[in-house]
Amino acid sequence: MTAPRDRRNLRGPIASGRRSPRALPLLFLAALLLQCGGAPRPPDIVLIVVDTLRADHLGCYGYERDTSPAIDRLAAESILFERAYSTAPWTLPAFASILTGLYPHEHGASLDYFAVRESAPLLAEKLNEAGYETAAFVSHIYTSSRYGFDRGSDTFEEFGLAENYAFDQAKEPNAQRVITAAVDWLDNRDRGRPYFLTVHLFDPHWDYAAPPPFAGTLAGSSDSFAVDGSFASIRPFMDRADELPARDASHLKDLYDEEIRYTDAWIDTLLTHLRREEREPVIALTADHGEEFQEHGGLGHAYTFYDEVLRVPLILRLPDRNREGDVRSDWVTTAALYPTLLALAGIDTPGSRPPLTSADPPRALFAATNRDGRYGGAVLTESRKFVWDRDGSAVLDPARDPAEARRAPGEADAPLFESLAATATEGWTIRLPAQEEAVTGTVSVDGFILDVLPLTPLTSPVSASDNTRFSFTARANTECAWRFRAAPADAAVTFSFHERGRTVEPGRIRIGGSGMSPPSGRFTLDPARAPEGAFDPPDVPAGPSAISIDLISITNSPETIDLSPAERDRLRALGYF
């Protein structure tokens, strides 16, 4: 099978599409399914997730290059969501959110060592229970059975990713291999059942190396550049992206666009096949996250919440095309695909987030990261973001400042901050009232630190090199408070506090509602051995100079997996771990 030729870039959804009403009621979706009378067979459903795909590098989102003719044509037949956001800036938690409808702190797959919780049913599980034949074709270990993504799938093809995953094998299958296998499955599936097909395409993640005939069409030779698209060449600039000349960053973007064009050609192969089906399926196309090319001083993804990393394409083609070309401008989360696709299949999801088609969309969307100990979180509304990242807290306004060049102080939007803090419902809390001197400290865990979030808008960011410890500074005259979760839930935690280079006197530290003090300024708390309620939050605040520590029991502990040395090596080679 060969990839099809280029098609003319169709920019209908942005250039001439009809702006739909703010909501597409569920009653309308029901009418779509009942238009032929009686109780029709539920629609077939296809979910396409492209790794590392920026929305603003597609023609249907206004990109000037002809990178995506097939996706643009699909968008012209569909509802296009202009402001769709991922729940995380890296693959594992973002992909899990799409398939569970949950945020990372809810589904559990927020770190390399944790799979999706058994208590979080996947789309395939729900649809399989409803009689669907289910199949998935995936192309990265973070989307494989190692993390529980095979649950509910009658057919789950991961191309050996979960077996003998080794550093030198480069096992990630390209789009041609994944789409060819998916099309073969479509030709041989059970025609008597509705089907749900998931396709995950690792391209255009680095290495940026599109095969012929796409290689060289936009980028030219890499001989005169410091980078050639391989992660090995990009890695030296990851933490000092400002040292990469602008022409080299532009070259990387050219190579990336070639990967998009290659991937789009194979998406066209799949879409062409689906258009020949007796019943055209519901099609949803999105991405797990985007990619940064020095827009805010970095390269790649995983650490920030700017639009180039967090904003993704989201296209939904319904069984009836009477809404083709519609554009939705409200802000939505990719986690809303879960209730949306289930609603289209006639499956109720009580207690879940509103679907994309809801008349009452959520007031706030959330995202979080913990890659390499760079803990952060963000809350997004119709026009603004509150972010807490390695640069501190800030309010961004992409509606008025599309480049997100201006970071307003975090205290500029108290309701936004409170929405973020409200997601930190359990875990350890460190609280320091405003004091004359700065206080520094470290936290280390006999296990893993899942996330760290601020409880006051001016709380300083933490610093860490891995997910077992972090350091913090409470600035002088500033109230600071952090809440963090550890895994396992009963992991022992060691605290250390310093002021002016000296260990803080233990009498200034209060632990839990009992207000007990530790034996010294560096001490370990072990929930597994403590009396019940020993670390519960106090009923009244501690004294004006006291440091308080308490623990709200961690009930949402993730499912742990063991990664082999070969798996760790390969993930390091891809820029993870």
Q: What is the CATH number for 332?
A: 3.40.720.10
Does 263 share its domain with 179? yes
Give yes or no for residue 434 having a pLDDT over 80.
Answer: yes
**Would you place residue 5 in the very low, low, confident or very high pLDDT band (cuts 50, 70, 90)?**
very low
Mean pLDDT of 482-498: 94
Structure tokens at 205: 């993640």
Q: What is the pLDDT of residue 142?
A: 92
Angle at 453 between CA 451 and CA 455, to 5 degrees: 150
pLDDT digits (tens, 9 = 90+) for 365-380: 999 999 888 899 999 9
In which element (H, E) is residue 366 found?
A: strand 365-369
pLDDT digits (tens, 9 = 90+) for 158-189: 988 777 655 445 668 899 999 999 999 999 99
Give yes or no for residue 264 having a pLDDT over 70.
Answer: yes
Does 164 share its domain with 303? yes
Task: Count helices and strands (H / E) in the chain.
Answer: 13, 28
> What's the pTM value of the predicted model, to 2 decimals?
0.90
In a domain, residue 398? The reply is no
Does 237 share its domain with 92? yes
pLDDT digits (tens, 9 = 90+) for 141-151: 899 999 999 99
The answer to whether residues 517 and 510 touch, using CB atoms and an 8 Å cutoff, is yes
Does 109 share its domain with 180? yes
d(CA 246, CA 408): 27
DSSP character at residue 50: E
In a domain, residue 387? The reply is no
In a domain, residue 403? The reply is no
pLDDT digits (tens, 9 = 90+) for 269-304: 999 999 998 889 999 999 999 999 989 888 889 889
Q: What is the pLDDT of residue 383?
A: 79
d(CA 407, CA 392): 10
Q: What is the pLDDT of residue 1?
A: 39
Buried b (16+ CB within 10 A) or exposed e, 307-344: bbbbbbbbbbbbbeeebbbbbbeebbbbbbbbbbbbbb
In a domain, residue 478? The reply is yes
Number of domains in the chain: 2
Give yes or no for residue 228 having a pLDDT over 60.
Answer: yes
Of 100-114, 126-140, 405-419, least confident by mean pLDDT is 405-419
In a domain, residue 367? The reply is yes
- Side-chain-side CA neighbours of 15 within 13 Å: the count stands at 11
Q: What is the pLDDT of residue 430?
A: 95
Q: What is the pLDDT of residue 170?
A: 60
Q: What is the pLDDT of residue 165?
A: 57
Does 232 share its domain with 102? yes
Does 305 share its domain with 357? yes
The answer to whether residues 483 and 424 touch, using CB atoms and an 8 Å cutoff, is yes
Is 399 or 573 the better-scoring residue by pLDDT?
Answer: 399
Mean pLDDT of 92-111: 95
d(CA 488, CA 450): 10
Give yes or no for residue 248 having a pLDDT over 80.
Answer: yes
Does 442 share its domain with 363? no
In a domain, residue 533? The reply is yes
Residue 198 sits at φ, ψ, to 5 deg, of: -110, 130
Reference 108, options 448, 361, 566, 536; nearest CA is 448
Reference 480, options 462, 500, 503, 454; nearest CA is 454
Give yes or no for residue 12 having a pLDDT over 60.
Answer: no
d(CA 338, CA 348): 11
Does 360 share its domain with 476? no
Does 248 share its domain with 286? yes
Does 371 share its domain with 435? no
Does 338 share its domain with 464? no
Q: What is the pLDDT of residue 453?
A: 93
Structure tokens at 352: 């879940």
Mean pLDDT in the chain?
87
In a domain, residue 197? The reply is yes
Give yes or no for residue 194 having a pLDDT over 80.
Answer: yes
Query: Across 184-193, 237-246, 540-549, which has the greatest mean pLDDT?
Result: 184-193
Give yes or no for residue 21 having a pLDDT over 60.
Answer: no
- Please give the residue range of the domain that contains residue 244: 12-375+564-573
Q: Is the bond leading into 402 cis (omega within 30 degrees of zero)?
A: no
DSSP 464-520: -SSSSEEEEEE-TT--EEEEEEEESTT--EEEEEEETTEEPPGGGEEETTTTB--SS
Does 334 share its domain with 474? no
Name the one residue in this structure whose structure tokens are 């003090």: 517
